[in-house]
Amino acid sequence: MYSLRGWNPLAEASRRWFTLAAGVAVLALAVPWFQPGPYLLYAIDILIFILFAVSLNLLVGQTGMVSFGHAAYFAIGAYCAGILVVTAGWSMPWAFLAGPPVAAFAAFLVGLFCVRLTHAYFIMLTLAFAELIHAVVWKWREVTGGDDGLLGVQTMPPFDTPLGYYYLTLVSVTICLILLYSISRSPFGRICRAIKDNPRRVEFMGINVARHKLMAFVIAGFFAGVAGDLFVFFNRGAFQGIANWLTSAQGLVMVILGGPNYFAGPVVGAIVFKLLDSAVPKFTEYWLLVLGLILGATVLLMPNGIVGFLWGRRASRDGHG
């Protein structure tokens, strides 16, 4: 046979990934030792938004579906778990498990209407549904607490300390990222990227494109629900702001900043965004202006995001020997 046999990019790629992942894991496990206290809380927050951004990128970067309403599923996961604890008196583990499936179901219902649309129409309709869900969260005071927020979401030992909750978050997010990574490499993920590239051809390969997109939408909603879940127990409550379009937009910013064409893109994007988000306001009150400049510069100078920029440079350096 010809050269196909010896070619195994998978082994090559996974070796590189394994090294990287092991490094990150050691670092993540060690965070509490050299940075206890408030930084641990930052780390938890960052981890939650890493998961949120990566789940969004399953749609944006992989399937070419630019959802402007991803906050809805984050909020549904958060509020569902929170309400079950506060109102129904469930204990944390059960409420925690209930959040993501409910978020996925909501994504299924919304997706039924959205997945056949493309481009601006898809963006607008996902936004419209998300704002609808936001309005429900905001106005249905008896259930969600409305403006006052949903308060008193109790956790349980050992997760009621920052350290305990950090490890819960770290383990949950890591498991979810591994699952999402495997999805991105799976036949399902391959077809997602094929749909992004050329949906018509996928249709003519015998695939029901709308159904495939719906499935991606539901999976992304599920993992956003996990992130919301982690968020509500971390904050011991939920606030209507997490459901609004700004949260959706933040997710998109993280994806674009890091690089939508790379699995690690939104991970890096979320970290950079969150670090800027906490650092910049200390120096200036014009945080949004700074963010705008950074985003503009990123899009112009690094069209493939931070990861694309670094990866691309490395690739060309390798190319020169």
Partner 1 sequence: MDDTVIRTVNLCKDFGGLRAVDRVNLNVKRQEFRAIIGPNGAGKTTLFNLLTGYHRSSSGEIFFQEHNITRLPPHRVCRRGISRTFQITSIFQNFTAFENVQAAILAYEKRTIDLVVPAAGLFRERTGHLLEQVGLEGQAHKLASTLSHGDQKRLELALALAGQPQVLLLDEPTAGMAVKEKPPIVKLVSQVVKDKGLTAIMIEHDMDVVFSVAEKITVMHQGRVIAEGEPQAIRADEQVQAVYLGGEVHAEGRSPGG
- 207 is a contact residue toward partner 1 (CB under 8 A): yes
Query: Residues 137, 150, 209, 270: which binds partner 1 (CB under 8 A)?
Result: 209
187 neighbors 207 (Cβ within 8 angstroms): no
Question: Is residue 201 at the binding interface for partner 1, with CB under 8 A as the rule?
Answer: yes
Nearest of 234, 215, 268 to residue 77 by alpha carbon: 234
- Quick one: which segment of 184-192, 234-242, 289-297, 301-309 binds partner 1 (CB under 8 A)? 184-192
Residue 315 found at the interface with partner 1 (CB under 8 A): no
Nearer to partner 1 among residue 9 and residue 37 (C-beta): 9
Q: Which of 61, 99, 145, 189 binds partner 1 (CB under 8 A)?
A: 189
Question: Per CB under 8 A, does 15 bind partner 1?
Answer: no
67 backbone dihedrals φ, ψ, rounded to 5°: -85, 125
Q: Does 183 bind partner 1 (CB under 8 A)?
A: yes
Tokens in use for 74? 């984050």
List the alpha helices (DSSP H) in the chain. 9-34, 38-57, 71-86, 92-114, 119-139, 141-144, 162-185, 187-197, 199-203, 209-235, 245-258, 265-283, 287-301, 305-319
Q: Is 198 in the site for partner 1 (CB under 8 A)?
A: yes
Q: Which stretch binds partner 1 (CB under 8 A): 107-115, 134-142, 177-185, 223-231?
A: 177-185
* Binding-residue total with partner 1 (CB under 8 A): 33
CA distance 180 to 259: 16
Instruction: Measure Cα distances from 98 to 83, 91, 160, 265 in Å.
Output: 11, 11, 20, 29
Binding site for partner 1 (CB under 8 A): 1-4, 7, 9-10, 182-183, 185-191, 193-194, 197-198, 200-209, 212, 215, 219
